[in-house]
């Protein structure tokens, strides 16, 4: 039997409260009234000191938090590269102000998740560090190049990219197009809660991502919590996933498709369908050319079409419309978008139609208004997500400016972005 | 025993196929090879003639399809007004081309759903007819005025508005703001399938909407299928609902809130919470002033902020940003949106922040980038949906142009658009 004051950071303890019995390692606590415990599952919990009925020290400093530990290679373990880019997963909260700040050394995070280094040897790269909303083409290109370089090393089994969650799906989508002939798994992970919170999700996400990188699935996937509990993660195809909730840990949901796989922290992987690219021995090519003059434009009723004229005048090469329902914008009203759209297409600008409905497919054959739009040259983009269509268009226009070829590539299923048969179960998955 | 050739439209029949036995009234069929049957549930099915094993005529013309029938008042039944505006629910498919065209007389639709006129006496108004993506402020104002006029008639128990589904949630939201001191139920309904299809959903939606209009709930609600089967409808608060799927019949889902109620075609109503406005004896006021110079602007990474300058130059009075996650746009990159946003606010333009995440709430207190945006005067709009914020802002700017007052009204919960506690069950409902 120990007292609360006799235990310290690094100690392995057993704690009994009125509700539960827990055991784990004491880690740095943001609040003096709370003991933070790192459980064997990799999950952190905060326990109010005044709720502790019993605390027992098992051993001292079994898991020393010591970055150099990461450099000790365990020769039998497979090799994985981790590219850190910033975001909540490598951040901490300043409890005085409530604000989040970045860890100066992202490897600190990994050092606090020993499970990961028990599965694989890790090489950490940090090409840049920023909040994900600040990322742009330059960062996407760097990421694609760094990732390809790592994947093309014989000993590397896969690449994990840690990243802010806000635009994680945009980055996953663009990497899906930029990395041609993908030969190994790429897992993008983030954290919805920072690493010093009891509800930190990054540990489980990283553990599951590590398992994903050792699988035979050669796809770009976002690997994050599948449910609010620390139970399993889902790996979602990079071109068919969205951040569906501002703060929940299970925010990333598959759209118009089921997850590629469910992954449990103990390494169990259950794939939903065998239809994924398999690990192969070829080389990955990073094809990073990108045309930045592309716009994502969401329509709303009563909205003035003059914003299209603005994009024409500003020299844009492509516009992805987020229309309503099956792919509509105003066509037969005073504020018809048709003349401006015609003008854009006549100037050689690609105009693609997606839907602002979360699920489903655009279809130009049902209503007169859509037939008029299609007649004007609007390309209906099947069930491609607006965000995916936006980055794909920038990438396609980086390959060619010929409108016919652009149309053809936009309608070609390059990285799973088009799903001909949407399973009913995918709705609200 | 009858033969297929001896039965005709309006006959009540029993039909036996290899799969099932059905009974109902024969209605006009779009295809000579198919018999269309209107079942007692209000649901239409198409039966291929060559699959019919047995057909038996029960009686002739029990339900005569005869528009004047609607004018026959049943004195004991309550009075409901139906305002038709166009859309799929009052359309038919041209089976030669696959295209959809509007019914010339929307009352034809109602005449084919006798259940509705067994529940209530109906008065049909048709102020205009168009596809919903073509609607704008003028139509919203007309609808608000017509609806208020009907609701202020003593004998009218409620108003049903039939409407295209594409922008049904925009119209539901703006009516929620324009109709002050709401005293009776307003149900907006649409159809995801046209009235001559076996999967026509408008009949059940209209039947449930009629029951809704006889309830004590004085809210603007969208009443549509709750599941893909013809089982029950859900009534969703007009400010907290979205078209979540391009084509499914259960496309309309509640966001950050549970449905107000489940409604079964037999009239059973199960409310989720008593927190709704109750039917009252006061008068409704249609407050329809609206400022059209408002923009809904979705952010994407790498997107150029110059579109904000365009809105400033074009004399816009307000911008609703659809940021990422908890409410982000690029702030610390070369393409920072901060200078343009500051400029807009300095010119007296209201800039409000919502999230492009489907669920959850924006929160400016977590990250540095958001603190900078809030410092520049961006108003974080809690859990208001971007579409709702967009129409609300037009309405608020119709009331006042004073920026302080606009901010205050945008953060005031006027029509249930702000939900302080989001139930966990609301996610992916």
Q: Are strands A34-39 and A269-271 parallel, antiparallel or unpaired?
A: unpaired
Q: How many domains does chain A have?
A: 3
Q: Which of B170, B302, B331 sits opposite A300 (nearest CB)?
A: B170
> B299 with B322: CB under 8 angstroms?
yes
Q: Looking at residue A338, what is its pLDDT?
A: 97
Q: State pLDDT tens for residues B272-326.
A: 988 899 999 999 999 999 999 999 999 999 999 999 999 999 999 999 999 999 9
CB A163: neighbour CB atoms within 10 A?
A: 28
Are A305 and A265 in the same domain?
no
Are A72 and A30 in the same domain?
no
The whole-angstrom separation of Cα B145 and Cα B2 is: 52
Q: Which of A99, A243, A332 sits opposite B325 (nearest CB)?
A: A243
* Residue B66 is among the residues annotated as catalytic for this protein: no
Q: How far, in whole angstroms, is CA A244 from its chain's centroid?
A: 12
Q: Looking at residue A4, what is its pLDDT?
A: 82
How does residue B99 score in pLDDT terms, banded at 50, 70 and 90? low
List Cα–Cα distances, B104 to B80, B108, B113, B166, B406, in angstroms: 22, 8, 17, 21, 43
CATH number at residue B51: 2.30.30.520
Q: What is the CA radius of gyration of chain B?
A: 24
Average pLDDT along chain B: 90
Residue in the block written with tokens 């409407």: B163
For residue A391, tell me if it sits in a domain.
yes
Secondary structure (DSSP) of A246-269? SS-TT-EEESSS--SEEE-TTS-E
For residue A415, tell me if it sits in a domain.
no
Residue in the block written with tokens 């009925």: A53
Range of the domain at B253: 67-286
Overall average pLDDT of the B368-387 stretch: 94
Would you give the DSSP letter of residue A410?
H
How does residue B41 score in pLDDT terms, banded at 50, 70 and 90? low
Would you give the DSSP letter of residue B394?
H
* Helical pair B168-178 and B137-151, crossing angle rounded to 10 deg: 60
Burial degree of A296 (CB within 10 A; 0-12, 13-18, 19+): buried
The whole-angstrom separation of Cα A47 and Cα B127 is: 63
Q: State pLDDT tens for residues B22-39.
A: 888 887 766 677 787 777
For residue B421, tell me if it sits in a domain.
no
Are B282 and B149 in the same domain?
yes
Are A51 and A84 in the same domain?
no
The whole-angstrom separation of Cα A68 and Cα A156 is: 21
Chain B residues whose CB is inside 8 A of the A324 CB are 132-133, 166-167, 243
The pTM assigned to this predicted structure is: 0.85
* Residue B166 is among the residues annotated as catalytic for this protein: yes
> A295 with A319: CB under 8 angstroms?
yes
The whole-angstrom separation of Cα B356 and Cα B325 is: 7
Q: Looking at residue A296, what is its pLDDT?
A: 98
Flag the least confident range among A39-48, A145-154, A355-364, B282-291.
Answer: A39-48
Q: Looking at residue A270, what is its pLDDT?
A: 97
For residue B428, tell me if it sits in a domain.
no
Boundary residue ending a domain (B243, B267, B286)? B286
Are B36 and B167 in the same domain?
no
Are A50 and A150 in the same domain?
no
The whole-angstrom separation of Cα A275 and Cα B165 is: 35
> B234 with B262: CB under 8 angstroms?
yes
Boundary residue ending a domain (A13, A38, A59)? A59
List Cα–Cα distances, B414 to A255, B174, B203, B277, in angstroms: 33, 11, 32, 12
CB neighbour list of residue A376: distance below 8 Å, 6 or more residues apart: A338, A341, A342, A345
The Cα angle at residue A210 between residues A208 and A215, in degrees rounded to 5: 95
CB neighbour list of residue A369: distance below 8 Å, 6 or more residues apart: A328, A331, A332, B131, B133, B134
Are A314 and A257 in the same domain?
no
Min Cα distance A339 → chain B (Å) is: 14
Q: Looking at residue B42, what is its pLDDT?
A: 55
Chain A residues whose CB is inside 8 A of the B295 CB are 303, 307
> B307 with B313: CB under 8 angstroms?
no
Q: Which of B245, B303, B327 sits opposite A358 (nearest CB)?
A: B245
Q: Looking at residue A68, what is its pLDDT?
A: 32
Chain B residues whose CB is inside 8 A of the A371 CB are 99
* Residue B88 is among the residues annotated as catalytic for this protein: yes
> B284 with B218: CB under 8 angstroms?
no
Q: Looking at residue B423, what is its pLDDT?
A: 95
**The tokens of A229 are what?**
């509990």
Q: Tell whether the model's pLDDT for residue B51 goes beyond 60.
A: yes
Boundary residue ending a domain (A19, A35, A59)? A59
Are B307 and B392 in the same domain?
yes
How does residue A245 score in pLDDT terms, banded at 50, 70 and 90? very high
Are B43 and B101 in the same domain?
no
- Strand-pairing partners, residue A121, are A79
Q: Pick the more confident residue, B102 or A349.
A: A349
Min Cα distance A216 → chain B (Å) is: 31
Percent of chain B with pLDDT over 90: 69
Q: State pLDDT tens for residues A193-241.
A: 887 777 889 999 999 999 999 999 999 999 999 998 778 999 999 999 9
Overall average pLDDT of the B111-125 stretch: 86
CATH number at residue B338: 3.40.50.40
* ipTM score of complex: 0.85
**The tokens of B65 are what?**
């399809």
List Cα–Cα distances, B213 to A287, B201, B209, B216, in angstroms: 58, 18, 6, 8
Q: State pLDDT tens for residues B232-286.
A: 999 999 999 999 999 999 999 999 999 999 999 999 999 998 889 999 999 999 9
Exposure of A324 in the CB half-sphere (CA atoms within 13 A): 26
Exposure of B192 in the CB half-sphere (CA atoms within 13 A): 23
Are A237 and A361 in the same domain?
no
Are A42 and A148 in the same domain?
no
The whole-angstrom separation of Cα A349 and Cα A294 is: 9
For residue B397, tell me if it sits in a domain.
yes
Would you give the DSSP letter of residue B42?
S
Would you give the DSSP letter of residue B378?
P
Catalytic option among A90, A147, A165, A210: A165
* Residue B196 is among the residues annotated as catalytic for this protein: no
In A188-257, alpha helices (H): 202-213
Q: State pLDDT tens for residues A323-350.
A: 999 999 999 999 999 999 999 999 999 9
The whole-angstrom separation of Cα B373 and Cα B26 is: 62
Flag the least confident range among B94-108, B139-153, B252-266.
Answer: B94-108
For residue B72, tell me if it sits in a domain.
yes
Chain B residues whose CB is inside 8 A of the A246 CB are 325-327, 355, 357, 359-363
For residue A53, tell me if it sits in a domain.
yes
How does residue A30 score in pLDDT terms, banded at 50, 70 and 90? low
Contact call for A361 and B247, based on CB within 8 A: yes
Q: Tell whether the model's pLDDT for residue A31 goes beyond 90.
A: no
Are B138 and B210 in the same domain?
yes
Q: Looking at residue B24, what is its pLDDT?
A: 81
Overall average pLDDT of the B217-228 stretch: 96
Secondary structure (DSSP) of B228-289? SSSS-EEEEETTSEEE-BSS-TT-EEESSS--SEEE-TTS-EEES-S-SPBP-SS--EE---
Would you give the DSSP letter of residue A378?
P
Q: How far, in whole angstroms, is CA B251 from its chain's centroid?
A: 10
Q: Tell whether the model's pLDDT for residue A174 goes beyond 70.
A: yes
Percent of chain A with pLDDT over 70: 92
For residue A113, tell me if it sits in a domain.
yes
The whole-angstrom separation of Cα B353 and Cα B333 is: 19
């Amino acid at each position: 039997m120990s007292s609360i004051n006799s235990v310290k950071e690094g100690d392995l303890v057993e704690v009994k409260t009125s509700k539960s019995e827990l055991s784990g390692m004491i880690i740095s606590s943001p609040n003096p009234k709370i003991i933070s415990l790192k459980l064997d599952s990799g999950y952190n919990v905060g326990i109010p000191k005044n709720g502790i009925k019993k605390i027992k020290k098992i051993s001292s400093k079994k898991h020393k938090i010591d970055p150099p530990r990461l450099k000790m290679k365990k020769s039998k373990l497979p090799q994985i590269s981790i590219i850190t880019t910033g975001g909540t997963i490598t951040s901490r909260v300043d409890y005085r102000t409530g604000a989040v700040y970045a860890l100066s050394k992202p490897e600190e995070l990994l050092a606090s998740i020993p499970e990961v280094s028990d599965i694989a040897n890790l090489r950490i790269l940090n090409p840049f560090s920023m909040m994900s909303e600040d990322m742009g083409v330059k960062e996407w290109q760097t990421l694609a190049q760094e990732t390809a370089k790592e994947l093309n090393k014989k000993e590397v089994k896969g690449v994990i990219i840690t990243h802010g969650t806000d635009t994680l799906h945009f980055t996953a989508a663009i990497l899906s197009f930029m990395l041609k002939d993908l030969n190994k798994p790429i897992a993008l992970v983030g954290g919805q809660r920072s690493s010093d919170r009891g509800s930190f999700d990054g540990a489980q996400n990283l553990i599951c991502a590590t398992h994903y990188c050792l699988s035979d699935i050669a796809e770009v996937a976002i690997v994050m919590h599948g449910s609010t509990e620390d139970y399993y993660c889902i790996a979602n195809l990079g071109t068919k996933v969205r951040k569906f909730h501002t703060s929940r840990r299970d925010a990333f949901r598959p759209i118009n498709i089921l997850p590629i796989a469910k992954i449990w922290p103990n390494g169990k992987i259950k794939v939903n369908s065998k239809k994924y690219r398999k690990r192969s021995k070829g080389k990955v090519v990073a094809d990073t050319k990108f045309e930045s003059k592309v716009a994502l434009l969401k329509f709303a009723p009563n909205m003035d079409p003059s914003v299209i004229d603005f994009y024409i005048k500003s020299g844009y090469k492509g516009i992805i419309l987020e229309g309503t329902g099956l792919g509509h914008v105003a066509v037969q009203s005073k504020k018809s978008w048709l003349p401006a759209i015609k003008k854009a297409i006549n100037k050689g600008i690609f105009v693609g139609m997606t839907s602002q409905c979360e699920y489903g497919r655009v279809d130009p054959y049902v209503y007169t208004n859509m037939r008029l739009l299609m007649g004007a040259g609007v390309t209906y983009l099947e069930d491609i997500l607006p965000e995916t269509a936006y980055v794909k268009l920038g990438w396609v226009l980086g390959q060619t400016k010929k409108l016919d070829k652009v149309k053809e590539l936009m309608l070609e299923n390059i990285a799973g972005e088009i799903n001909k048969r949407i399973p009913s179960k995918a709705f609200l998955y």
